[in-house]
Amino acid sequence: MNVRPLAALALAAVTTSIIGLALAQVPAPAAKPAAPAALSDSLPVPPPPQIQGKAWVLMDFATGQVIAGDNGEMQVEPASITKVMTSYVVAAEMKSGKVKGTDQVMMSEHAWREGGAGTEGSYSGFEVNKTAPLVEMEKGMVVQSGNDAAIALAEHVAGSEDAFASLMNAYAARIGMQHSHFVNPHGLSAPGHVSTSRDLATLGRALIRDFPEAYSYNKIKEYTVGPITQRNRNLLLWRDPSVDGIKTGHHSGAGYCLMASAKRGDQRLISVVMGSTSENQRAVDSQALLNWGFRFFETHRLYEANKAISKQKVWKGAADEVQLGVDAPMLVSTPRGKYAQLKPSMEIPKTLVAPIAKGQKIGSVKVTLDGKVIAQRPLVALNAVEEGGFFKRMWDELMMWWDS
């Protein structure tokens, strides 16, 4: 990931808008890029690969930007990729102290009958009416895609599949999955059990970011329960050493699906292919998307968190100015060689009056490329400005009137 500061860019001046917003002052251009762009970077980015599937997206992990996609908001059946949501809920409940990795999880008769070896779906192999540590049960769900393990985990965490589905939907809403609804923990076809390729990429990003240990189970290539050893169905784990997850899915209604993630250097990408035509085709298409994304896109850190990028006049305050910045690193994904073409600007109210609290949102910063906004974040006050004394307030009131 490129971490050159945005101060290295020339900033385009914009006029004050009619709604009373003003462009903030930003540092002038500084050093040139450390190395010249490759000759091919000056050429247009070629279109993404042709994907044989109903819907797909390619997302940059660091920024959450969708680099490319087709039918990304189309609701589809997520099949066993549902189990990534189950993993997220289990990890979140563990972090909150509700359950522990050492908990003994019962493979109930219901879980065994609905998702065990006697069914047509994938299963883990844990014996009915016997227990296993929660972490082992989860690996049986993640690596072997065990439907029985998913049900057993749901029953242990929430008491029933229905109660666990309510948790799934609550966590999905919290992480920004706007078009998804879950009714079971395993992903077998059911009315109302839907998601989108974009939502699933958002889920994969959240699991990697929030619960890296739980995510690490996804790169295990095979797992043994009793006498049964099963291989992870994600073929990319054998084909590309940079791939470390995430999850496959398949049933007649969903087709062949694959959520994959790879990290090369400091850059990580997430691909989601839904409704493909075969196990091999979903792997081939996912590999092509990842290769295309790594070749033609890069991630830049534009602003550091809690560092001043603008100073603004404050009226009626004990101090005369406030420093503005972003409360988390601001990153952006761009085609390679396009960094110098980014155009950042800030919109800030013309008049700022004390008191101002530290962390208070004041305006926004946005970045455009080729006329399109590709990143936008709120600006926050990095320091508090208390209200000034009586005479300071009266004087500033006069000066504000005079300026107006």
> Nearest-5° angle of CA 180, CA 182, CA 188?
120
Report pLDDT for 119: 85
**Per-residue pLDDT at 30 exceeds 60:** no
- Dist CA 92 CA 111 (whole Å): 22
Q: What percent of the chain has pLDDT over 90?
A: 77
**CA 56/CA 194 separation, integer angstroms:** 15
Quote the tokens at residue 230: 């099963």
pLDDT at residue 2, rounded to an integer: 55
* pLDDT tens figures, 148-182: 999 999 999 999 999 999 999 999 999 999 999 99
pLDDT of residue 36: 54
User: Is the per-residue pLDDT at 396 higher than 90?
Assistant: no
> In this predicted structure, what is the pLDDT of residue 38?
62
Cβ proximity of 313 and 320 under 8 Å: yes
Query: For the whole model, what pTM was predicted?
Result: 0.83
Cα 315 to Cα 76, 352, 392: the distances in Å are 54, 6, 9
For residue 81, what are its two tokens?
Answer: 């990729």
Average pLDDT over residues 266-291: 97
| Torsions phi, psi for 297 (to 5 deg) | -130, 155
Q: How many CB atoms lie within 10 A of CB 96?
A: 8
CA distance 222 to 145: 11
Nearest alpha-carbon partner for 333 in 67, 109, 18: 67
**Res. 33: pLDDT tops 70:** no
Summary mean pLDDT of the chain? 89
pLDDT at 201: 98
Please check the confidence at residue 121 and state whether its pLDDT lies above 90.
no
What integer pLDDT is reported at residue 117 of this predicted model? 80
Would you put residue 4 in left (φ > 0), alpha (ψ -120 to 50) or beta?
A: beta
pLDDT interval class at 24 (50, 70, 90): very low
Average pLDDT over residues 238-250: 97
Q: pLDDT at residue 240 above 90?
A: yes
| Cis bond upstream, residue 5 (ω within 30) | no
Mean pLDDT for 262-279 is 96
**Pure H helices in 195-349:** 197-210, 212-216, 236-239, 279-296
Compute and round to an integer the Cα radius of gyration of the chain: 25
Q: Is 145 a catalytic residue?
A: yes
Distance CA 331, CA 301 (A): 4
Q: Which candidate in 54, 83, 316, 338 is catalytic?
A: 83
- Tell the residue number behind the tokens 């966590």, with chain if given: 171
How much is the average pLDDT of 302-314?
A: 93
Q: Beta-carbon neighbour count of residue 43 at 10 Å?
A: 11
What region does 235 belong to: left with phi over 0, alpha with psi -120 to 50, or beta? alpha
- pLDDT-derived band at 118, boundaries 50, 70, 90: confident
* Residue 247, annotated as binding a ligand: yes
Query: Of 122, 124, 145, 261, which one is the catalytic site residue?
Result: 145
Tokens for 160? Answer: 């029933």
- What is 42-91 written as a DSSP string? GSPPPPPPP--SSEEEEEETTT--EEEEESTT--B--GGGHHHHHHHHHH
The number of residues in the chain equals 404
Q: Specify the pLDDT at position 319.
A: 93
Domains of the chain plus CATH, in order, are 53-297 (3.40.710.10), 304-403 (2.60.410.10)
Nearest to 80 by CA among 223, 228, 233: 233
CB 90 within 8 A of CB 133: no
Mean pLDDT along residues 87-96:
98
Match 């910045």 to its residue by tokens. 325
For 125, half-sphere exposure in the C-beta direction (CA atoms, 13 angstrom radius) is 15
